[in-house]
Amino acid sequence: MKKVFSLKLFIALLCLFYSSIAHAESLETSKADKSLFETKCSYCHEIERPLSKRKNKDGWTATVKRMQSKNPSHISDAEAESIIAYLSYERGEEAPVNRIKDPSNLSELEKKHVPVIQIGSGDVEKKIVTITVKVGEVPHPMEATHYIKYIELFIDGKSAGKVDLKPGDKPEASFNVSGAAGKRVTAREECNLHGLWEGEAR
């Protein structure tokens, strides 16, 4: 009986180990694709332009190929594929967004997933404030098999910053932003198991 239990434990730990390696490799690939996107696409226009849109993979393929056709020597076919992969992941078609259904009676999932927004002090002269977003009233786990992939801040519906996370990180992020006074401040996070969640500053 002990041998069977030990074997099962060994297999579980082995799976966890390889899962962590795969996740780390995925993060490194994502960083490389992001760097390539920023380098190549900023050559002709501000990178905020594509990042303000959402398209499916076919849509991003058409966009990148159109840009590539204008200057074929600037973006190779392999680079185009990497840029398409990055944009499809970062700005793909939006998944269903989960929100609080009853503020007076939060479910266990809502307690662990809805972003909590704290607007702090900042530079009064430059009108810059620090906004901290924490995932959940109850801290969300950050394990190899259950973690938050990223936190993104929005001011009046426009992205004001995004922080990628990985297992072992704290499920929170801080943003220094300007022009937030009097505007709607929201944040979104994506859990690898439970999808996309949104919270609003109260």
Range of the domain at 156: 97-200
59 and 123 belong to one structural domain: no
The predicted pLDDT at position 9 comes to 47
Q: Domain tally for the chain?
A: 2
> Are residues 83 and 102 both part of a single domain?
no
Enter the tokens of residue 104. Answer: 């007076």
Single residue among 90, 116, 134 that ends a domain in this structure: 90
Residue at a domain's end among 41, 68, 90: 90
C-beta neighbour count of 139 within 10 angstroms: 13
Task: Name the residue among 55, 180, 194 with its Cα closest to residue 113.
Answer: 194
What does the alpha-carbon distance between residue 83 and residue 76 come to, in Å, rounded to a whole number?
10
State which of 67, 90, 113 marks the end of a domain: 90
Same domain, 37 and 110: no
pLDDT one digit per residue (tens) for the chain, 202 residues: 545 445 454 444 444 444 444 444 444 545 678 888 888 888 888 878 887 777 888 889 999 999 999 888 899 999 999 999 888 877 877 668 999 999 999 999 999 999 999 998 766 566 789 999 999 999 999 999 999 999 999 999 999 999 999 999 999 999 999 878 889 999 999 999 999 999 999 7
- CA R_g for the chain: 20
Is the same domain home to 47 and 106? no
| Residue 136 zone, left/alpha/beta (φ > 0; ψ -120 to 50; rest) | left
CATH code of residue 123: 2.60.40.730
Q: Report the alpha-carbon angle 128-132-135, nearest 5.
A: 155
CA atoms within 13 A on the CB side of 80: 19
The CATH number for 83's domain is 1.10.760.10
Distance set, CA 45 to CA 14, 53, 56, 67, 201 (Å): 46, 14, 21, 11, 33
Residues 65 and 14 occupy one common structural domain: yes
Same domain as 59, residue 12: yes
The helix/strand/coil state of 185 is strand
Q: Tell me the CA distances in angstroms from 131 to 38, 137, 142, 185, 186, one per residue in order.
A: 25, 16, 21, 9, 10
* Residues 104 and 63 occupy one common structural domain: no
113 and 192 fall within a common domain? yes
Helical pair 2-41 and 77-90, crossing angle rounded to 10 deg: 110
115 and 190 in a single domain? The answer is yes
Q: Do 80 and 166 fall into the same domain? A: no
Asked if residue 163 and residue 120 are part of one domain, the reply reads: yes
Query: Tokens standing for 118?
Result: 């704290």
Task: Please state the pTM of the whole predicted model.
Answer: 0.60
